[in-house]
Amino acid sequence: MQTAEIQRRWLDFFGQRGHTVVPSASLIADDPTVMFTIAGMVPFIPYLTGLVPAPYPRATSVQKCIRTLDIEEVGKTTRHGTFFQMNGNFSFGDYFKEQAIAYAWELLTTSERDGGLGFDEKDLWVTVYEDDDEAIDYWRRVAGLPLERIQRLGKEDNYWSTGQPGPAGPCSEIYFDRGPKYGPDGGPAVDDSRYLEIWNLVFMQYLIDDVRSKTEFRIVSELPKKNIDTGMGMERVAFLKQGVENMYEIDQVRPVLDRAAELSGRRYGADHEDDVRMRVIADHVRSSLMLMTDGVTPGNEGRGYILRRLLRRSIRAMRLLGVEEPTFAELFSASRDAMQTAYPEVAREYDRVSRLALGEEETFLRTLSSGTTILDLAVADAKQKGSSGLAGDTAFLLHDTFGFPIDLTLEMAEEAGLSVDRAAFDSLMSEQRARAKADARAKKQSLADLSVYREFRAKGETVFTGYEYLQTESSVLGLIVDGAPVHQATVGQIAEVILGETSLYAESGGQDADAGSIVGDGFDLEVLDVQRPVKGLISHKVQVRAGEVSVGAAATTVVDPAYRHAAAQAHSATHLVHAALRQTLGHEAHQSGSYNKAGYMRLDFGWNQALSLETRSEIEEIANAAIHDDLEVVTRIMPLDEARSMGAMALFGEKYGDTVRMVDIGGPWSRELCAGTHVSSSAQVGLISLTSESSVGSSNRRVEALVGHDAFRELAAERAIVSQLTSTLKTPREQLPDRIAELVAGLKAAEKRIAQFEAQALQSRVPELAASALKSDGVTTVIDHLGSVSSGDDIRGLVTAVRSRLGSEPAVVALSGIAGGKPLVIVATNEAARERGIKAGVLAKAAAGALGGGGGGKDDLAQGGGADASAVPAALDAVRAGLAPV
């Protein structure tokens, strides 16, 4: 049974039983404390916890998930996959324990011919929480399971909570017996390799507090509405139904594994280490494909870093299989073909995803080349010192700075006959992880406890009226100060205000929050920020400027009209620039992020090379031509599928409901899904001035622009500069570029002539310096300070010229100078001096030590430098001291 067929059967089964079929949410989690959607129930948490009223009594989904905590275990076991799919059915105060068990048993044991999954009842076991006699009774009565195939386990295994005060409850897990080949008898309590968990049913029925650990908490009471949250592991069921050994061999993953085997010339199943590498490649390529399809791009932080790590581990694994050439074109196309039946968007977005993947592969292959060079130098240095191993900090530097995988370092060091101080490397990695976890904890603790919004959200959604009105009358539903609900807020306090209606735009979709105020009888509140802390609720962060505001008071939201207009200009300008980009560069230049506020916009888009000045000018001209054409801006509310069928652009990673707002500028000229505020015609944007274009990653670029009056002011300032230049240089504006180029060329020529004169002046000192030579212990020396020089080249030329004047007897020349504010010492020796063991590199290094820097070089000519110019006398004394024993 193909994986896509399991997905279809699941959704059909629960859909036919009154469950709302909910499409998979993005892999990019809504929760700011979590990077990815890590479980099937994550999108439903607000409903399960009661934070947001559920829009339906029961639901079902097949949710895309990513987990990266066990990334090092991928490929080694049957159960660790980075990307996986969780089939879930949910009840929000509707059915409970008995019905959840009945549904699970029916779907699992109904024959394939009748639409079920066709598992044999005799192969299924269950575990329950040790005190949950009710669940045991249902399993016996509903499913007919004998007691010997129902096992009681403790809180560690069969009790669910978020780890925080709130809903919790026992759970019951369903296991499939794979047979004696995979382990001993005795059920899941004895061996969870033979008995494979395929489905977990969580009975969310209690409210807990005083949470001290996973197993230590206090049950406060039963929940007024009991919820069901279940999850069936798609990949586990798929490999059981397809008769293969593990999740890496199912139909959605195996094609990538097979392609990796073909490209490497290795056979899957012939060597354990090779098998693990092929499974890593298959998992990571699929995971990367799905992440990039959902809008994640490779980067050095957050989600982008995780994606980059997956891609680089794939490249590393291919290299360990003996393949050093690019392979992503083959591997990703194989994954696309395997996944597109279940997820058609994979095919739709493949051109963009492929370009990102190939760009990252090309970059990392160059990085591997650089890292290999550094590793080769470290190996040579270790061997020269007689060491049998590489230091842990060297391995960590390669890993942390260059992205050079530790496995590759170990392999290459072993090939060179060296070990790696793995303990020191692991210690440094642990320190880095501890810092990262501390940062994550700090970030999580800095976020307000969202449960404070529960009672406000229960009163309904905040109605946003700002598309039509700049002022709206409402009432204060709640006040929050320092994270806790209060009845009133007084002058000077910072508070959050919850209203029933508001005309103030909350930050979202890349648009900054509105500026404005909230006023009422006896109070005046300055709006500092407007946010959506939970879905459907708008919170206004305010400072009380005058009076006292209380819960229940009538209040009017007042938007600053000038700010709103400028913000609408900027947001519409973002759409115009996006359309101009795609018209100029092609459809692959898809927006990957944006930010706009009054007078300013920036837009990130997928592209892997800098834009020329001509291209930037063309984009700017197209966008401003659209302003000149006064295109009508129309917003419409419609079903998501209808908007997409009309060609509406959606921002990758954004969450859209079944009903969306589509913004047209000039009809199909620019058509995007957008909840932001906009002007009513493109002419109202006024003016767009692109100010910069830069890189924000290996496959992403960013353009920034000023809009409206801000753009005019910037151009006016540039005009003033041009006017000043034309006056100063007495040159017409159109001739300024040539005139400035002429002046720059003349300046460079003058600087060159001056440098030549200075070099000649220095060379004229050669006779004087040679005449100042001293002789001691058979060695002639010239050691002197030259003062300020243009560059180290001047000193170097003088040193070699003086050395040639000193004849064939042993001679050493050491001259210092200050170039660009930094002290330098250059040392030269002749052949006779070197025969006596005098090395320029050793002397230069000694001088550099006195200067607080570093140095070295060849035996005949070397250089040292530092930062402390006052230490030049000490540096020259260090050279003399280095000569004294000879």
CA 305 to chain centre: 5
CA distance 213 to 490: 39
CA distance 72 to 828: 53
Locate 675 and state its tokens. 């909840």
Locate 666 and state its tokens. 């000039």
- Given a contact cutoff of 8 angstroms between Cβ atoms, the answer to whether 699 and 607 are in contact is yes
Q: Left if phi > 0, otherwise alpha if psi is -120 to 50, otherwise beta: which for 800?
A: alpha
CA distance 770 to 365: 53
Bridge partners (DSSP) of residue 530 are 540
CA distance 133 to 137: 6
CA distance 442 to 419: 38
- Given a contact cutoff of 8 angstroms between Cβ atoms, the answer to whether 876 and 851 are in contact is no
CA distance 426 to 32: 29
Give the residue from 592, 597, 629 showing the smallest Cα distance to 608. 592
Whether residue 171 is annotated as binding a ligand: the answer is no
Whether residue 399 is annotated as binding a ligand: the answer is no
Which residue is it, tokens 């010192």?
A: 385
Residues 6+ apart with CB under 8 A from 105: 142, 143
Residues 6+ apart with CB under 8 A from 386: none
For 50, 209, 211, the CA distances from 169, given in Å and listed in that order, are 15, 13, 13
Whether residue 587 is annotated as binding a ligand: the answer is no
CA distance 877 to 752: 34
CB neighbours (10 Å) of residue 225? 16
How many helices, marked H, and strands, marked E, lie in the chain?
26, 34
Whether residue 19 is annotated as binding a ligand: the answer is no
Please give the radius of gyration of the chain, using alpha carbons only, rounded to the nearest integer.
Answer: 35
Q: Left if phi > 0, otherwise alpha if psi is -120 to 50, otherwise beta: which for 595?
A: beta
- Given a contact cutoff of 8 angstroms between Cβ atoms, the answer to whether 179 and 245 are in contact is no
CA distance 245 to 632: 59
Classify residue 537 by burial, with Cβ atoms within 10 Å: 0-12, 13-18, 19+: buried
Classify residue 524 by burial, with Cβ atoms within 10 Å: 0-12, 13-18, 19+: middle
The secondary structure of residue 787, as a DSSP letter, is E
Locate 445 and state its tokens. 């603790």
CA distance 205 to 347: 42
Residue stretches of the annotated binding site for Zn(2+):
571, 575, 674, 678
Residue stretches of the annotated binding site:
571, 575, 674, 678
